[in-house]
Chains A and B, each alone.
Chain A
């Protein structure tokens, strides 16, 4: 069968696929927001000086990073009802995606916070700040700069990973593409269309991420030149102390 441009464009801009794109987009955003929020909580639990929250965080990260998302999603959708917890398709997809994300994001947040120079804690302690004040005004703003690149990567992954929700019949971009391919037996046209939409979403997000990174990098040195090359940053803080 010849490749049909006509089918391709009909799929690409057809309402059926566009609805799928929209579903993928909001699913990714909601799961990311919930996952990151939960991830921050887990990160602070893991850094707690108390044993119980630390162990809970370790267990959580161990389980959710150590098993495939596909398995997690199927378990949440089909096994939990056996124990009386019946979740719909959308809730199951959101829950699985955000718990999975939380496990990864917790480690990202933790390493971001730990990578803020120890001297920053000393300085904020000496200025009379309490723990919440140190976090809010000194540590987290600096950790954010370190967290944003991996956070961006996670969101790019998330946009693509939502396709796994198709196994529990969530009508997102991938499942709708599958259906289109089957209805009209135009496999290549349908999947090529889906690929274009995924690529567009990840590319647009990539641009947003670049701007976010530049924004948070600004105080640390001059902005990138037009040629995209970054001037070297002046030596500061502990780096200077070690020279």
Chain B
């Protein structure tokens, strides 16, 4: 199904969780993506509004991570378009409306509007926690080191790690590393946060510390697109839950409806396996 024609009134109701959603901030239109002969995204469309939390679920290989990576243009797309924070991600239109790929520097500038958190944390192992967080604000955005450090310490407190500023990633547990990664992404003051299976690499006892930070973030009005299997988080924090299957969005509903009254057979099958 596509959401191309979606207007405000078509948006799912926020049952029991009224939220003020702003204008669309991520608009995905008819995106196609193939790796060789493997068609991973088939005509995917999705509109995410400012302040909205969208959870994307699905089996591995369903295209959910690829979709997320396409939003940040970590993968190129073969068709359609993605607009995020007002930027046509990775491309510009020539006068005839054709899409022309942008150069490295221009795409880099587009990505600075969004934060991304990865399954494998990807902290910079040669830098302390503080330097991990301040690297981009100072070296790329030109913030003053003092201001960036103050902001970093504030963020570390927010993710519950106020005393880890001088530690190196190797000295932290997985859950701590992921929380630092979230702080690092937030340091760029992103308008949208993308989470790519943020808890899949964690031991069970560390999952909740990361989810708690994410839930807090959603309560503070951050726009979030989260690829995850954590249905508890979806229930608690999501405005909408999507299910991807075979490169398509096959279900899309507010959490209550998604869990209690799914329309798609795929969703029923997925829920029976995961819950």
Contacts and interface: CB of A to CB of B under 8 A. Distances in A.
B139 to A, nearest CB: 6
A142 B126 contact: yes
A131 B118 CA distance: 20
A131 B201 CA distance: 28
Contact of B140 (A128, A220, A236): A128
A203 interface: no
Interface residues of B, number: 41
Contacts of A88: none
A99 B220 CA distance: 59
A120 B118 contact: no
Contact of B124 (A123, A131, A133): A123
Most buried by B among A123, A234, A238: A123
A236 B172 CA distance: 8
B122 interface: yes
B188 A236 contact: no
A22 B194 CA distance: 59
B1 interface: no
B171 to A, nearest CB: 6
Contacts of B194: 126
A82 interface: no
Contacts, number: 109
B108 A129 contact: yes
A2 to B, nearest CB: 58
Contacts of A238: 120
A119 B120 contact: yes
Given A122-B74, A130-B105, A233-B170, A145 B135 contact: no
Nearest to B117: A126
Nearest to B114: A126
Interface in B159-175: 168-172, 174
A137 interface: yes
A131 B128 CA distance: 22
Contact of A219 (B116, B168, B172, B184): B168
A123 to B, nearest CB: 4
Contacts of B185: 126-127
B125 A236 contact: yes
A237 interface: yes
A25 interface: no
A128 B125 contact: no
Contacts of A127: 111-112, 135-136, 140, 184-185, 188
A142 B116 contact: no
A241 interface: yes
Nearest to A136: B139
A187 interface: no
B190 to A, nearest CB: 10
B109 interface: yes
A131 B72 CA distance: 16
A219 B126 contact: yes
Contacts of A216: 126
Contacts of B127: 219
B115 interface: yes
B215 interface: no
B74 A125 contact: yes
Interface in B90-149: 104-105, 108-109, 111-112, 114-116, 118-128, 135-136, 139-141
A128 B139 CA distance: 11
A141 interface: yes
B66 interface: no
Contact of A125 (B111, B125, B201): B111
Interface string A103-126: 000000000000001011011111
Given A128-B188, A219-B128, A219-B170, A237 B121 contact: yes
Interface of B: 72, 74, 104-105, 108-109, 111-112, 114-116, 118-128, 135-136, 139-141, 168-172, 174, 177, 181, 184-185, 188, 194, 200-201
Instruction: For the complex of A and B, list the 10 residue pairs with the smallest distance between their C-beta atoms, beginning with the closest.
Output: A128-B112, A123-B122, A241-B201, A241-B120, A126-B116, A119-B122, A127-B136, A219-B168, A130-B108, A238-B120
